[in-house]
Structure 1
Amino acid sequence: MTVQGAPPARRAYDAVIVGGGHNGLVAAAYLARAGHSVLVVERLGHTGGAAVSTYAFEGVDARLSRYSYLVSLLPRKIVRDLGLSFAVRGRDVSSYTPARRAGQDTGLLVGGGRARTREAFARFTGGEREFDAWERFYGRTGRVAERVFPTLVEPLPTRAELRARVDDEEAWRMLFEEPVGAAVEEYFQDDVVRGVVLTDALIGTFADAHDPSLRQNRCFLYHVIGGGTGAWDVPVGGMGALTDALAQAALDAGAVFATGCEATRIETDGTRAEVACRGTEEFTVGARHVLVGASPQALAALLGEQPPPPAEGAQLKVNMLLKRLPLLRDKHVDPREAFAGTFHVAEGYEQLATAYAEAASGTLPSAPPSEIYCHSLTDPSILGEHLVGLGYQTLTLFGLHTPARLFAEDSEAAREELLAATLAQLDAYLDEPIADVLALDAQGRPCIEAKSPLDLERDLRLPGGNIFHRDLAFPYAQEGTGRWGVETAHANVFLCGAGAVRGGGVSGIPGHNAAMAVLGE
């Protein structure tokens, strides 16, 4: 949402919120509804941060969720509390993974009901074993989701309290204590099935299945607990519909926005703070509390402190607009079903291991793994009526195992090389090149854009291009995390962005928790 940007009329607020991304907007709405005077300072000329909808291609009536695009972790509690006019739609198909076996083009389609999924597994793997293991594995993670997800908007439990709440020692072991690769190998035998499961541990996280740091486990956990079910839904109207609703809720409650205005310094004695800002003019505002929706590195810079080292991002983000969906080599599946969920490319278990090893050694993966989503199949409203009538579709591709270090020497050349290799992997499963079905913009250029981690660092100020701001943390208290996981060394300064404990993804949870810390709840 674009709002009028101007220096605020008053010079002191109960709360100044630095950053108008979705978490900052959640915090602003909660605090303003509680009667606090709130100023939101946003560097860009609009609110929403990375959770925006954009006309990415010149002269084309398609509003893409440019950076973040699916919703799972947003609690219904936040939607209800703030009275948001916002909806999501589920996807009947969970995923499709193309493969070539015994010289034949085939694939695994997960979704369309239990009976159909069982049949698909039997046809793809030649028996019942993998489907039975699938049900046991996701039955266990589903029970973890039911028990853990509600805690994300409560004060941080201790490790022992969360373990007791999970109340399943095998689940605790495979998710919280041992590398998740051990569980994947224990439950499943088929390489493709193993890869489909593992990808949830690698979205935006550069790690091997057996990484002893367990960063892949933390990523996996947040991908399977959303909403208490693990379902990933499409935001109706695009991601901008959510942040526009949040901005409106904050404005309606009395919050003041200063867009096109960058915070440059925070000074605090733990009781009162001052925030220096630079927009059309420089000004300073006082605050009882300061909530920062930017990264931990940005927070440290504002406070004049030593920043923590960045945790590099590891993804390729590609947006495309197609004249129609491409034809598949696997003639047993309709492209509208194959692309309705998550379309996995080069994500077999061994392929993922090879891609990680290559990237860790400093080279771009020879077979870059990626997954693709067609949001317009679920929500055609993001396209103009004329494009819908012509059969146009959007595609969002998310590439894995491409850490920022690979782009350090020549970012543009590395990005283009990686994009070409990634599309070649996709083309291997299509009956026509993806380039042949790309739409053209008003200048006759193909409707495709790619963003490396360094592009995201430049565009969104994500340290190292990390979409989570830093490595995700397990959702329990550790030394120094504070009661809500948003506290800092300064009593009246809180981190309300993705880098907070229980941050990452489009959730609003850090914004909610920072507001609760201020309100003393």
Structure 2
Amino acid sequence: MREGYRRLVRSYDDIVIGAGHNGLTAAAYLARAGRRVVVLERSDHVGGAAISADVFPGVAARLSRYSYLVSLLPRHVISDLDLDLRLVRRRFSSYTPVPGAPERGILVDGGDEEATRAAFRSVTGSDADHDAWQRFYTAMGEVAQRLFPTMTQPLPSLSTARDLVGDVWADLVERPLGDWLRREFADDTVRGIVATDALIGTFADLDDPSLRQNICLLYHLIGNGTGDWDVPVGGMGAVTGAMARAALDAGAEILTGAEVVGVDPADGSVSWRTTAGGDEARAPCIHAACAPAVLNTMLDEPVATEPDPRGAQLKVNLVLTRLPRLADPTVDPVAAFSGTFHVNEGFDQLHTAWTRASQGRVPDVPPCEIYCHTLSDRSILGPGTDGMQTLTLFGLHMPPELFDRTDARDEALAATLRSLDSVLAEPVMEVVARDGAGNPCIEVRTPRDLEQSPGLPGGHIFHRSLQWPWAESDDEIGTWGVETRHPRVSIAGAGARRGGGVSGIPGHNSARWALQ
């Protein structure tokens, strides 16, 4: 992204720390408002955790290496910034083989409601859980329609939020999610399908009194008022590439290879180092689009944040020669892998895996889910990849401390592949492609890896535990959810209130904070 850079000056209106999607969003909004903006990025590229990469030598596949789908990015941000970005809606929402009986499964087909009802009936024996499913998602859809527009507005009060959430407030906000799911659904598999949205990137039991799981569920179901998770054509790098172009075209400067080492909130000075030496600039507004814990390494007086962020996922990227055959012969693998493919994510299995991980052990049967980008968008593949498919596997309940043993990565991967094989008609390794050196096209990323690159404390993909997207105290009402104890400094990344996910919301809100 060095094209379009201009000579650095020593005084700016805004300094943005971090060129992930939120930092780029903030920079684009601020520069379009006529302000002088510089973005400082430690890595040699922009995009943060929302990038595409050539992972396997000799295989022309640009994978969305860390994040991979888009839901929370407001449509008005795309239009405000004139982003050259296309998102594709998926017909099939999910496929879930029954744990222990994978020859049966539930395919949720957004294009055929009767087929979906029949799939539920074949597993549960009645229409009751499908009726409950419709009630649950209708209620959450109404919450999404009312609540999502507030995500890019000043924080509403608790009483306003209660009115917006409506009848499900007590179940969603006041009691552990497990209570609601047990009461609403009778079948363990159905409960598990719903529950997984509460656990992505969140290490919690469904009965956790902290309600972290409830908050995570809310964020996964409210995106753009629908909760749909869409495929970015060209991969995640297309998202942040469009944002970087928007920032540069508006006049922002982006400096890569610039590691910020100090922030002085008193005079707005920011110092950084490059391979050529050190440098410094000042601005009235400093936007920290890095994790709050990372910002605190730059400050003498730290900002408030979670003391010990912990991620909870095993990320596995694969390239296959073809899709594997399913244990369920009645379901087309193309349909099953087009949405979210749930593997051993039954309600009781999720609790068992959490319990074992809480004891410091890799789950015996790791719950995980899979997404195939290339069934929706083959543009990420190049020459020599005819028939190939990419898979992104996201393993739950894999906190960072599990990987302090040198052999834990191999143990976790082997257990996860066994878990996947249990719902297939053939071992997945039989269809894994080989790279130019003959090695299997499998890349594993643990929370410890995410600490190193792209710099997520504890490997936490949300930078810290998600927070309710409204004011929880009177002094927050009407703020943007990005403010810190330092009047010049904002949290412009996923660690802001209303952060998490590839959304651009904290970046937008930090820009609004500065412009206000």
Common fold: TM-score over 0.5: yes
Once the two structures are superposed, residues 175-206 of structure 1 have per-residue CA deviations (whole angstroms, 9 ceiling, x without a partner) of 11111111111110000000000000000101
Shift of 1:359: 0.8
1:86 corresponds to which residue?
Answer: 85
CA displacement 1:133-180 (0-9 Å, x = unmatched): 0000111001000011110000000111111223x22x1111111111
Aligned residue in 2 for 1:431 = 425
Aligned to 1:403: 399
SS state at 2:90 partner = coil
| Residue equivalent to 2:125 | 126
Asked if structure 2 preserves the Cα contact closer than 8 Å seen for 1:7 and 1:283, the reply is no
* Aligned amino acid, residue 221 of structure 1: L
Q: Return the offset for 1:303.
A: 1.3
Query: Which secondary structure state, in structure 1, belongs to the residue aligned with residue 251 of structure 2?
Result: coil
Q: Is the 8 A contact 2:97 2:343 kept in 1?
A: yes
| Residue 275 of structure 1, aligned match among 257, 270, 274 | 270
SS in 2 for 1:131: helix
* Residue 247, structure 1, aligned to residue 241, structure 2: no
Alignment of 1:302-341 (within 5 A): 302-306=298-302, 308=305, 309-341=307-339
1:293 aligns with 2:289: yes
Q: Percent identity?
A: 53
Question: Shift of the alpha carbon at 1:104?
Answer: 7.1
What does the per-residue CA deviation read over 1:457-480, in whole Å, with 9 as the maximum and x for residues that have no partner? Answer: 111111111000000000111346
| Distance of 1:215 and 1:323 partners within structure 2 | 39
Counterpart CA distance in 2 for 1:59 and 1:100 is 37
The root-mean-square deviation of aligned C-alpha atoms, in Å, is 1.5
Residues 401-458 of structure 1, C-alpha deviations (whole Å, 9 max, x = no match): 1111111233xx1111000000001111111111110111111111001111001111
Residue 328 (structure 1) shift: 1.0
Cα distance between partner residues in 2 of 1:104 and 1:293: 43
TM-superposed deviation, 1:385: 4.8
Q: Amino acid of the residue matched to residue 459 of structure 2? A: G
Unaligned 5+ runs, structure 1: none
* Distance of 1:5 and 1:358 partners within structure 2: 51
- TM-score, normalised to structure 1, is 0.96
1:456 to 445, 450, 457: 450
The answer to whether the aligner puts 1:157 opposite 2:151 as a matched pair is no
Equivalent pair of 2:12/2:283 in contact (CA under 8 Å): yes
The code of the aligned residue for 1:330 comes to: D
Aligned partner of 2:106 in structure 1 is 108
SS at match of 2:444: strand
C-alpha separation in 2, matches of 1:71 and 1:357: 30
Q: Which residue of 2 aligns with 1:74?
A: 73
Give the distance between the partners of 2:271 and 2:64, measured in 1 at CA. Answer: 32
Partner Cα separation in structure 2 for residue 141 and residue 373 of structure 1:
23
| Maintained 8 Å contact 1:5/1:260 | no
- The DSSP-based 3-state class of the residue aligned with 1:460 is coil
Q: Aligned to 1:357, which of 340, 352, 355?
A: 355
Distance 1:481 1:314, change over 3 A: farther
Report deviation, 1:491.
0.9
Matched position secondary structure for 1:13: coil
> Tell me, what secondary structure is at the counterpart of 1:321?
strand
> CA 1:417–1:496 in 2, change beyond 3 Å: closer, same or farther?
same
Alignment coverage as a number of residue pairs: 510
The letter of the residue matching 2:103 is: D
Query: Which residue of the partner structure matches residue 54 of structure 1?
Result: 53
CA drift at 1:4: 5.5
Instruction: Output the amino acid matched with 2:119.
Output: A
Letter of the 1:190 partner, please give it: D
* Aligned twin of 2:172: 175
Contact 2:482/2:492, CA 8 A, preserved across alignment? yes
- Residues 459-498 of structure 1: matches in 2 within 5 Å? 459-479=453-473, 481=476, 483-498=479-494
Please give the alpha-carbon distance, in whole angstroms, between the structure 2 residues aligned to 1:203 and 1:29: 29
Q: CA deviation at 1:334?
A: 0.6
Q: 2-side partners of 1:5 and 1:298: how far apart?
A: 28
Superposed displacement of residue 244, structure 1? 0.4
CA distance in 2, matches of 1:208, 1:433: 30
Partner of 2:377: 379
- Does residue 391 of the first structure (1) align with residue 419 of the second (2)? no
Segments of structure 2 that go 5 or more residues without pairing to the other structure are none
CA contact (8 A) 1:481 1:501 kept: no
Tell me how far 1:481 sits from its aligned partner: 4.6
* Alignment partner, residue 500 of structure 1: 496
| 1:8/1:258 contact within 8 Å kept | no
Is the CA contact (8 Å cut-off) linking 1:356 and 1:401 kept in structure 2?
A: yes
The match for 2:408 is: 414
One of 368, 371, 378 as aligned partner of 1:370: 368
In structure 1, C-alpha distance between the alignment counterparts of 2:456 and 2:7, rounded to whole Å: 27
Tell me the secondary structure at the aligned position of residue 276 of structure 1. strand
* Partner amino acid, structure 1, of 2:191: R
Paired position in structure 2 for 1:514? 510
In 2, the alpha carbon distance for the partners of 1:432 and 1:380 equals 25
Q: What SS does the aligned partner of 1:339 have?
A: helix
Seen in structure 2, the aligned counterparts of structure 1 residues 34 and 104 have a Cα distance that, compared at 3 Å, is closer
Once residues 426 and 9 of structure 1 are traced to their aligned partners in structure 2, the CA distance between those partners, rounded to angstroms, is: 51
Counterpart of 1:173, as a letter, is A
The alignment partner of 1:302 has SS state of coil
